[in-house]
Structure formats: structure tokens, C-alpha cells
Amino acid sequence: MSLIKSALTAAVLAATVMGSSAMVNNAYAGNVQDKIIVAHRGASAYLPEHTLESKALAYNMGVSYVEQDLAMTKDNRLVVVHDHYLDRVTDVADKFPKRARKDGRFYVIDFTLDEIRTLNFTEGFEIENGKRVQGYKDRFPIFKSTFRIHTLEEEIEFVQGLNKTMGKDIGLYVETKAPWFHKQEGKDISKATLEVLKKYGYTSKDSNVIFQTFDYPDLKYVKTELMPKMGMDLKTVMLLGYTDWKETYELKNGKWEVFDFNYLLDPKNFKEVSKYATGLGPTYEMLFDLKKTSKGKIVVNDFVKNAHANGMVVHPYTVRADKLPEYCTDVDQLFKAILIDADADGVFTDFPDLGTAFLQKQGKK
């Protein structure tokens, strides 16, 4: 068989395996022009995560998407914040010292939006020996300048406003944080999120938004009940973690149990997962054969190939130039392993400038 004929046969076969809708909606990014950079919590390496300022900076770094992690307030508003706690990124412990729960955490869900707006939003920190210690010591200094937590609506208006003034079409990449926790508290964060997205015109797979979650039972609910009921059908990404992270809980026989991610990590189940997800969001190390990987030599596995064969794109998280894995010598080596060698369709990074520069070096316009 000639090379052209065998390539054509392979393309037809791939199209058959992937299904035509997957080809249309997912646009596999074998071509570097189609690969995307997602600004992880904005340009979070340079300005405090999830601030509008960090979104503006990321926007101007040439990304395809800016990310929004979401939690719900006591008065049912969606705020853009990574944790469903406030204590890592605000001065809540100073302003509302009596409002911690028994575990010592200050939960977003226990505060109204007006209360949250009074907090200073900062680069993340931990408490060590009674003192605030910055998580990433070379990043924006903690509690310097003034930043505030904002709502999903405010961020959408911000991005849409920039799209108008800058003449671009940058997308939203929204994550409902801990839907299982919100359910336990009597709130449906996914429904609230879809309502806001619908209000701003994001309704179909052609809309420039991706809905992501670590909560597989909730994704199924979103895909099979909520979106059909609301006349919506957005692109969806199932985020993959490890069971021992205890990222997700599910209700089993009336009891909340830790969700077991092993089912989702097994490529044999990708076909089933693809009924609900147009893409997968693994940690980038899930794309590597770590047993064969050594310093300076990253060996990839078939993760992306298996996802593509089941019609799903792959957007791994999170490249951090200031926190490279021990087997990496520089950040471009990591981008290359993820985007070129493993052939992922995009990547989340705290350093959007380095991500877009890497793709430009590969020839992306």
C-alpha cells in the first residue's frame, strides 16, 4: 500500500473509531496550530491566583482559555476561588476570627458575597509555627497591593469585555469545585454554574467554554440531566486525580465515601467515560512511563493515544516552571514531553507566557 493510501486509510479508520461528532467537536491537536494553552488560575505565577489582574495578564500572553475555579457563597453566588475555603488566600482569619468550623477552616459557603468582598485576596500561604509562609516564595508577595475576590459573572464580563476591545475570542475553562461538598450543604453548584453560563450565551459545544470537574458522578448528572433539561450541551472535561487525594466523595448506600479514581484511569473504561466527557484532564505525569523516565529523558505512554481513540481530547495540568519534577531539566522539556511527544491537545500552566512561547517555537502562529 502506498504511503498516501495507508495514511488515508488510517485517517478514515481513526474517524470511524472517534466518531464524527468527536472529530467536529474536539479537533485533535496533532497539528501544533490547534494546541492550546490554558492559563491556570490566570497568570498565577506572576500575580495572585484568580484575581482579575492575573486574568488580564494571562489574556495578553496569548492563551486560548483562562481558568475559573468556582465555589458557592452562603447567599448562592458563584465566586472565583480555588479552594472551597478562604483561609489560604485571604485575611478571613483576621476579619472573622470566630467563623472557622471545627476543623479550623473558613468555608466559602459560610460567608455571604458581601462579607467575602471585604477580604483581602492574596497570593497563597500556609501557617507554619503561627506565621504566614508563602507557598511559592518567588511569586507575588503575600498581602501586597489590594486584590478582591469576584463573582463568575464579573469574570465573564471581564473576559467578554476584553474579547471586544482586543478583538479576540478567548474562552472560559470553568471548574465546579467539590460539587459533592456543595450537595452535602444543600447546594447545586453545577446547576448554578450552568445558569450563569447560559445567561451569558454559552450553551452549545460551539460556545467558547469548557466545563471541567473532578466529580464523575456529578459530571454524569450534568451531562445526562442538567444540560438536556436546560437546553445546553457544552464541552466537558473529566479531571483525573489519585484516589488518596480524597478530591471527590460519592454517595453510596446513603453514605458518603471517597471516590475511587482507578476506574477512570483505566483506558478500558475511556469509551464509557467519553459518553459524558469530550476530554480528559489528567496530571501530566499520567502521560509518562515513570519507570522508564530518568533525568533529562521523559518516556511517554499511550494515555493520549487511548483517549483520542475514544474521541476525547487531553488537557493535562499543571506546568510550573518554579516547581519542575525531578526528571526535568527545564520547562521547555516538560512542554515538549506533554504537547509534542505525548501529543496532548493542550496544557494548564501557571506560566502562560512560557507555554505560548513554547508553541510559537514549534511554529504556532
Closest CA to 289 of 339, 340, 342, 243: 342
Give the cell for residue 100. 472557622
Residue 150 a catalytic site member? no
- Measured from the CB atom, the residue of 69 and 343 that comes closer to Ca ion is 69
Provide the minimum distance between the beta carbon of 216 and ligand G3P in the complex, in angstroms, as a whole number: 14
Backbone angles phi, psi at 237, to 5 degrees: -125, 125
Q: Select the binding partner of residue 248 from Ca ion, ligand G3P, none (C-beta < 5 to 8 A, by kind).
A: none
Which of 111, 140, 221, 348 touches ligand G3P (CB under 6 A)? 348
Give the cell for residue 284. 501530566
Closest CA to 63 of 176, 194, 210: 210
Provide the minimum distance between the beta carbon of 175 and Ca ion in the complex, in angstroms, as a whole number: 4
Backbone angles phi, psi at 14, to 5 degrees: -60, -45
Q: Select the binding partner of residue 281 from Ca ion, ligand G3P, none (C-beta < 5 to 8 A, by kind).
A: ligand G3P
DSSP class per residue in 28-70: ---SGGG-EEEETTTTTTTS-TT-HHHHHHHHTTT-SEEEEEE
227 sits near ligand G3P (criterion: CB under 6 A):
no
317 sits near ligand G3P (criterion: CB under 6 A):
yes
Closest residue by beta carbon to ligand G3P: 317
Provide the minimum distance between the beta carbon of 213 and ligand G3P in the complex, in angstroms, as a whole number: 9
**Dihedral of the CA atoms 183, 187, 190, 192 (nearest 10)?**
180
Which of 175, 218, 343, 353 touches ligand G3P (CB under 6 A)? 175
Which of 29, 58, 239, 342 touches ligand G3P (CB under 6 A)? 239
Q: How many residues bind ligand G3P (CB under 6 A)?
A: 10
- Please state, in angstroms and rounded to a whole number, the distance separating the CA atoms of residues 83 and 69: 8
- Measured from the CB atom, the residue of 35 and 82 that comes closer to ligand G3P is 82
- Measured from the CB atom, the residue of 59 and 348 that comes closer to ligand G3P is 348
Q: Select the binding partner of residue 239 from Ca ion, ligand G3P, none (C-beta < 5 to 8 A, by kind).
A: ligand G3P
Q: Select the binding partner of residue 59 from ligand G3P, Ca ion, none (C-beta < 5 to 8 A, by kind).
A: none
Which of 28, 54, 69, 119 touches ligand G3P (CB under 6 A)? 69
Closest CA to 219 of 234, 203, 202: 234
- Please state, in angstroms and rounded to a whole number, the distance separating the CA atoms of residues 246 and 306: 26
HSE-CB at 52 with a 13 A cutoff on CA atoms is: 18
Closest CA to 177 of 198, 196, 192: 192
- Please state, in angstroms and rounded to a whole number, the distance separating the CA atoms of residues 188 and 171: 24
Which of 318, 331, 349, 350 touches ligand G3P (CB under 6 A)? 318
- Please state, in angstroms and rounded to a whole number, the distance separating the CA atoms of residues 211 and 277: 9
Residue 82 a catalytic site member? yes
Q: Footprint of ligand G3P on residues 180-219 (CB under 6 A)?
A: 212
Q: Select the binding partner of residue 107 from Ca ion, ligand G3P, none (C-beta < 5 to 8 A, by kind).
A: none
281 sits near ligand G3P (criterion: CB under 6 A):
yes
Does the CA dihedral 263-269-271-275 come out positive or negative?
negative
Q: Which of 82, 84, 150, 308 is catalytic?
A: 82
Q: Select the binding partner of residue 109 from Ca ion, ligand G3P, none (C-beta < 5 to 8 A, by kind).
A: none
- Please state, in angstroms and rounded to a whole number, the distance separating the CA atoms of residues 175 and 73: 16
Q: Are 50 and 151 in contact (CB under 8 A)?
A: no
Q: Select the binding partner of residue 84 from Ca ion, ligand G3P, none (C-beta < 5 to 8 A, by kind).
A: none
Which positions touch Ca ion (CB under 5 A)? 69, 175
- Measured from the CB atom, the residue of 62 and 124 that comes closer to ligand G3P is 124
What's the CA angle centered on 20, arms 318 and 17, to 5 degrees? 75
- Measured from the CB atom, the residue of 114 and 126 that comes closer to ligand G3P is 126
Q: Which of 40, 84, 182, 308 is catalytic?
A: 40
Which positions lie near ligand G3P, rule CB under 6 A? 40, 69, 82, 175, 212, 239, 281, 317-318, 348
Active site residues: 40, 82
